[in-house]
Every structure is written in C-alpha cells, then in structure tokens.
Amino acid sequence: MRVGRFSTVPGAVAAVGALLLLATTGPSPVGSAADRDAEVAEVRERVEANLARYQVPGAAVALVDDGEMVWAEGFGIAEVATGRPVRADTMFQAGSLSKSVTAWAVLYLAAEGVIDLDAPVEEQVDGWSLPDSPYDTSGVTPRRLLAHTSGLPFAIGATPLSPARFRSGEVDQEAFTLVQEPGSGFIYSNPGYALLALLVEDTSGDDFASVLAERVLQPLGMEDSTFALDASDVARSATGYTADGEPVAPTWPSPLGASGLHTTAVDLARFVAAAHDGERAAGRGLLSPAEVRQLHRPRAETAGLPHRLMADAAAYGQFVEGLEGVQLVMNAGEEEGWISGFATVPGTGQGMVVLTNSRNGYPLIIQELQAWSRANQLGRPTLVGVYTVLRTGAWVAIALMIAVSATLAVTIVRRLRAGSGPVSSRRVSRWVPRLGALGAGVLLLAVWWLVLAEVLGAFLPAMTPWLGLAGTVTGLLLLLRAVAPSLSARAATGSEALEGAGE
C-alpha cells in the first residue's frame, strides 16, 4: 500500500560516477555463499591496496544480492587528524547520487497526483518563472528536468543552494536561461534538479529535506541519511579531502535536489536494493514496479564530456547502458573532497556501492566496478573501458613527451652553441619551423592547463602530476625552440661586435 501523502512510515545513485534494469534473461550472478565470501575477500584486499595507491583516506563499500544488502564495510580513515576509522555506517556526502533519490520523490508525488510530469514546471511552482529566452519555456516539464533534456545549462557553480533562493530572488538568471529547445537533447543540468527541489516544496507544502525524509528515506529504511545535516550528523560523518589531502568540512554547502544528500554505504545499498524484485517487489510499496521501470528507462542519449564517456543514455536521476543482454543503470557523485558511485542490475538483484572521502576516489571506484562486473559476468562497462584507455594513453603520452623533450633539448643546445660563430657562416632557422614550434608549445600548454589537467586529475590522480610535468616541460621546450634561432643569432652578433671592438 502506498504511503499517504503526509504520513511518516518507519523504515527511497548516483553517481560515477551506475544502476541496472535487466531484460528478461541475462548472465548468472555470483550465487553461493562461498562465492560471496571469496568476492568480499577480494574486495577487502583490493580496496585496502588502492587506498594507499591513490592516496584516498577512507572508503565504505556495500554489496546487494537478490534485492537485499548482504555485506557492507568501512576501510581506512574517516578523519585523518584523529585517526577515526571509516565504518559501514559512517556518513559521506553523496554528491550527484542525490539526483537518484530526488527522482524517487518526484515520481512518488506524481503518482499521488501532486506533480504533473508533463505540465510546464512554471505552472506548478509559486511565484517564480524562468527568464526570457529564444526558446519556449513552457516546454520545461518535470519529466524533462528528470532526464536532463529541459534545455537548461550545466551551470554547476551557479546552482542555488536551496529552494529559498528562488523565493528571495537570489538565483543566477543565466543558470536558468534555456540554451536549447526543451526536449531536443541531453544537457546535464544541476539547476534543473535545484528547480525540481523547488517543485517538491511548492507542491507538497513542506520543506524539501522533510519531504525526502518522510516519503523516501525513512520508508526505505535509510535512517542514517539526510538532506539536512545537523550537529549530531557531523560528529559521525567522514571528513572530505582534496586531491592534495587538504580537509573539506562535511557541512560544505551543496544544492539540495542536485547534490545535498548525506548517506552511508548501508543506507545507499538499501536504496539500490529497493529497485530490485526479490522477496519484496521493486519499489517496496513506495513506488510501484512500473514506476521503478520508469526511473530506469533510457530517455536521451548522453552528450558532452564526461557523460558521453560514462554511459549510453540518461534515465531519471541516473544513467543506463546495455551490457551482455542486460541494462546497467548507474550514477556517480562528485564534490570537492568526495567521490561516490553505485551500480546495479535490478532484474538479477545485484548491486554495489562505493563511497570515498577524497577527490582521488574515482580510480578506486572504477576498479571496484570493473571487478564487480566481471564477477557477475556483465562484460565491461563503458566507464571501465574509458578508464583503461585513458590510463594506457597517459603512459604512452608521457613516454612520447619525454622523447620529444629530449630531442628538443639537444636541438636547442646545438643551436645556441652554433650561435657563437660568425653570423655570416650560417643562416637563421626558417620561419615555418619556428612558427610551428611556437604554435605547438602554446597549444600544448593551453590544452593541458585549461582542459586536461582537471579532467584527467579526477580519473588519474596518481599519473596527473607526471603528465603535467612532462607536458609543461615539452611545451616550454617547444617555445624555447621557437626563439632559440633568435638567441643564437644574437649571440653570434654579440660575438662579432666584441671582435670588432677588439680590433
């Protein structure tokens, strides 16, 4: 039976960034207790090694089998200053995994008849409307907001921290100005989920955190999860850490509907399990199995970086892709100091959850996804393939840049030495090679520092410093190669002038 609209029932990601909807047939999951024990032993060994390898203070991991959480454990340190360990019930900031939970709340209210998924969102919120744009704002509906097809921009840094900002007028108008026709394609939009939080408040008559607690978190047994972190929560939360190991306060503000969830591995595993059919039906009475299938249905092909490299399509609050006859549904969460993710196959009841308290957490999560997929005979998820290519390509790039740098250094030294002879005995280098070296140097430095450093830093934290050093040295040597002929010519001219003065 569905929970009443204003009832409280005791006891509803995404992220890297996966959830799965299985077709009628698919590969066999890890089955026996012995298989699971072996899998858990491998997880322990791998996670402990990768914490040290990638300089991640702590992580919490959970597994779901046959629609139920079967194991959860903490690893490493929750707070470096005190040495407090991570436990299975340690709280982490979930980042964009929050969107998966927000989507449950929106579908719940839609099933209650409170939200119309296909009506303009402006007609369902109080006293606020989208800014004027060249596109029809009436096409911005809750359904399109859920699937990132509303036409709103990415604008992650300009996303309102709470629905109250809409009412006070403290929102960045540009973040809510349409950049394409609603329904015309995928643009990952944090402002879109902030707008969904406003919709939840205005249609339910209660604040967002309370609605999510009463209608989703508590009914699914997520008693240690919240969208409103208080002092008691902070005391049992992990501390997040930047890539350089600097602490980030667990109360770091984040847009509620888009990334405001604080949760544990145990609770998030319960959320993942709720999408599975097992002894209990998918949705756990909060949503119907048909509504859960709506959550997982592909809505739009992904586009842009990094989402095109992570999965095939966007669903409601998560991403999906086909693997070996099944459909993988997944999500990843990223905040400064936190990386998290989950993956699941609802049809077989298999799932995994990984939470980390470090910006360096992506490789650890991706390797867990790879091992989990292999153990359940799912093939290789796109994200795992992309990570493998990036890692191999990084090593090749480093080797090539070392070789190019060595060649450039030898050439520059020779030219500078040649510049001490009479200028009439040799010509200054041609302009084309000089301009080519100048352009290549500027392009390499610009692409690295403006684009690649941040993107690769998230996925390859251990390799990025080496890539940065190799790229910077190569770029600077290319620039020096471009001006080296001028330096040698000046040296030669100076030498002639000294000789003339001596005569």
Quick: pLDDT tens for 211-270.
999 999 999 999 999 999 887 888 889 999 998 899 986 666 688 899 999 999 999 999
In this predicted model, what pLDDT tens digit does every residue of 361-382 receive, in sequence order? 999 999 999 999 998 888 888 8
Cα–Cα nearest to 92, from 77, 103, 110, 70? 77
Whether 502 shows a pLDDT value over 50: the answer reads no
Question: Does 253 sit behind a cis peptide bond, omega within 30 degrees of 0 on the bond before it?
Answer: no
Q: Which two tokens stand for residue 316?
A: 């409601």
356: Cβ–Cβ under 8 A, 6 or more apart, which residues? 56, 58, 59, 92, 338, 339, 340, 364, 365
Cα–Cα nearest to 311, from 286, 285, 332? 332
Q: What percent of the chain clears pLDDT 70, i.e. is strictly above it?
A: 85
Q: Which residues pair with 92 in a beta bridge?
A: 263
Please tell me the predicted confidence (pLDDT) of residue 485.
56
- pLDDT band per the 50, 70, 90 thresholds, residue 423: very low
Q: Which two tokens stand for residue 199?
A: 């919709």
The residue with greater pLDDT, 333 or 250, is 333
- pLDDT band per the 50, 70, 90 thresholds, residue 468: confident
Domain spans of the chain?
21-380, 385-502
CB-based burial label for 81 (10 Å; 0-12, 13-18, 19+): exposed
- Measured CA to CA, the distance from residue 63 to residue 47 in angstroms comes to 14
Tell me 249's DSSP state.
-
Helix (H) or strand (E) run with residue 283 in it: none
Q: Residue 240 phi/psi, 5° resolution?
A: -80, 155
- pLDDT band per the 50, 70, 90 thresholds, residue 433: confident
Q: In this structure, are strands 350-356 and 338-345 parallel, antiparallel, or unpaired?
A: antiparallel
- Measured CA to CA, the distance from residue 315 to residue 293 in angstroms comes to 10
Please tell me the predicted confidence (pLDDT) of residue 371.
94
Please tell me the predicted confidence (pLDDT) of residue 213.
97
Amino acid identity of residue 360, one-letter, is N
Q: Which two tokens stand for residue 293?
A: 């299938």
The sign of the CA dihedral 11, 124, 116, 154 is negative
Cα–Cα nearest to 142, from 67, 87, 192? 192
Q: Which two tokens stand for residue 75?
A: 């690893």
Please tell me the predicted confidence (pLDDT) of residue 265.
98
Tell me 37's DSSP state.
H
In this predicted model, what pLDDT tens digit does every residue of 134-158 receive, in sequence order? 999 999 999 999 999 999 999 888 8
Whether 82 shows a pLDDT value over 80: the answer reads yes
Task: Please state the pTM of the whole predicted model.
Answer: 0.81
Whether 407 shows a pLDDT value over 50: the answer reads yes
Q: What percent of the chain clears pLDDT 90, i.e. is strictly above it?
A: 54
Please tell me the predicted confidence (pLDDT) of residue 411.
82
Question: Using alpha carbons only, what angle is made at residue 370 by residues 364 and 373, rounded to the nearest 5 degrees?
Answer: 140
Lowest-pLDDT range of 149-163, 301-315, 411-425 = 411-425
Determine if residue 314 is left, alpha or beta; phi over 0 gives left, psi from -120 to 50 gives alpha, anything else beta.
Answer: beta
- pLDDT band per the 50, 70, 90 thresholds, residue 387: confident
Please tell me the predicted confidence (pLDDT) of residue 376.
87
Lowest-pLDDT range of 140-154, 299-313, 420-434 = 420-434
- pLDDT band per the 50, 70, 90 thresholds, residue 31: low
CATH number of this structure's domain 21-380, picked from the four choices 3.40.710.10, 1.20.1250.20, 3.40.50.300, 3.40.630.30: 3.40.710.10
